[in-house]
Amino acid sequence: MEGPIILETQFAFYHFLVVISIPANAVTIMILSRGKCGISPGVCLYLISMATADVMVVFFPIILTKLGSNYFPFTFLFYTAVCRTVRVLGYAAIDCSVWFTIAFTIDRYVAICCHNLKARYCTQKTAVAVITTVSLVNVLRNVPFYFKFQPYGTFYGVPWGCVTRLEFFTFPGWVAFFWLHHLLNPLIPYLLILLLNALTVRHIVLANRARQGLRAPSKGEQREDAEVANRRRSIMLLFVVSGSFIFLWMTKIVIFLVMEIFNRHVYPSYNHPVIIADRTGTMLFYLSSCTNTAVYALTQSKVREQLKSAVKYPFTLICEQVFSLK
């Protein structure tokens, strides 16, 4: 009985994610696009690209693949060519979401720790170039997944459905591609975020100690260091975004390593603890697609102000129309 319960829980979770993630990220994109949040244009572009990728993560792998197969079993979505393309775009969306987070982390690391490079790198032009490059590379490197799948069969002479080829798990070229794919997402990004955050924390601690030594107040005098306060606000967003990524991907990474170390990818039932943990890890990393709005609202006061204005706007508009009729 536990297997169906796990599947039903996962199915219900996907519905929840669609209802929450798409509106939340749409509001985030709208607010950030207005440019009134006190965030630099380059950082705004990174945050908008992350929110857009999160919408794509919900749209391709969840709506079109996981939910579409249940609600629309006999539509064009099940043509093998369409099914393969949707799978490729789903993989690319997940990779873009992860690597946009890396790009944002690198930008903040340079801004905080590399003052000589900051003026040249932390610009809107660089952000556009990085986001464009990351998008193209992630789409192209996932194209081989198109050939991972073969049809279930034919329906009125048309190739129908997608099923993983058996040689994907045995052919050396596919095995090498599989490992390269998982190294690029999520193993290397995970390690990069941990490393960059550790270096950023170390730099901030040393810089604050040095600054406090230079600005030691006299007896009975207390001075607020504006530079330290600004630095604290600028790193808060970085750490919350990175921390969210680290926490929500941790289960999936651990289970992937367990499966590879013991060379076991197939288990007898959904009741097996590894399968339960793997399904849980999948739900957690999909959950990362709807956490960014909460992260921005909790860490940035101007974003909270814009969010409140967006919520109040429809009611304000209705009140204005009512009073104008009077």
Mean pLDDT to the nearest integer, 40-57: 91
pLDDT in the model for residue 82: 92
pLDDT tier for residue 222 given thresholds of 50, 70 and 90:
very low
pLDDT in the model for residue 147: 93
pLDDT tier for residue 298 given thresholds of 50, 70 and 90:
low
**DSSP single-letter state for residue 79:** B
Name the more confident of 38 and 279: 279
pLDDT tier for residue 320 given thresholds of 50, 70 and 90:
confident
Residue 187, CA atoms < 13 Å, CB-side half-sphere: 12
pLDDT in the model for residue 146: 94
Name the more confident of 194 and 141: 141
pLDDT tier for residue 60 given thresholds of 50, 70 and 90:
very high
Long-range contacts of 77-80 (CB under 8 A, 24+ apart): 78/160, 78/161, 79/158, 79/159, 79/160, 80/149, 80/150, 80/151, 80/159, 80/160, 80/161, 80/162
Residues 110, 38, 27, 252: is their CA dihedral positive or negative?
A: positive
pLDDT in the model for residue 198: 85
pLDDT tier for residue 220 given thresholds of 50, 70 and 90:
very low
**Residue 147, CA distances (Å) to 95, 142, 143, 180, 278 in order:** 18, 10, 8, 16, 25
Q: Name 95's Cβ contacts closer than 8 Å, sequence gap at least 6.
A: 138, 141, 142, 184, 185
pLDDT in the model for residue 226: 63
User: Residue 149: what are its φ and ψ, rounded to 5°?
Assistant: -105, 150
Answer whether residue 89 shows pLDDT above 90. yes
User: Residue 79: what are its φ and ψ, rounded to 5°?
Assistant: -60, 135
pLDDT in the model for residue 211: 67
Name the more confident of 224 and 120: 120
Q: Which CATH homologous superfamily contains domain 2-213+224-325?
A: Rhodopsin 7-helix transmembrane proteins (1.20.1070.10)
As a whole number of angstroms, the distance between CA 57 and CA 89 comes to: 9
As a whole number of angstroms, the distance between CA 122 and CA 92 comes to: 25
Q: Which tens digits make up the pLDDT trace of 272-284?
A: 788 888 888 888 8
pLDDT in the model for residue 106: 93
Mean pLDDT, the chain, whole residue set: 83
As a whole number of angstroms, the distance between CA 97 and CA 241 comes to: 12
Q: What percent of the chain has pLDDT over 70?
A: 86
Q: Is 40 exposed, middle or buried (0-12, 13-18, 19+ CB in 10 A)?
A: middle
Answer whether residue 231 shows pLDDT above 50. yes
Name the more confident of 36 and 61: 61
pLDDT in the model for residue 1: 42
Lowest mean pLDDT among 185-189, 195-199, 310-314: 310-314
pLDDT tier for residue 227 given thresholds of 50, 70 and 90:
low
As a whole number of angstroms, the distance between CA 158 and CA 82 comes to: 12
Answer whether residue 93 shows pLDDT above 90. yes
pLDDT in the model for residue 6: 73
Question: What is the value of pTM for the model shown?
Answer: 0.86
Reading the block at residue 263, the tokens are: 């060379």
Answer whether residue 308 shows pLDDT above 50. yes
Name the more confident of 13 and 3: 13
Lowest mean pLDDT among 145-154, 172-181, 222-231: 222-231
Reading the block at residue 39, the tokens are: 């965030």
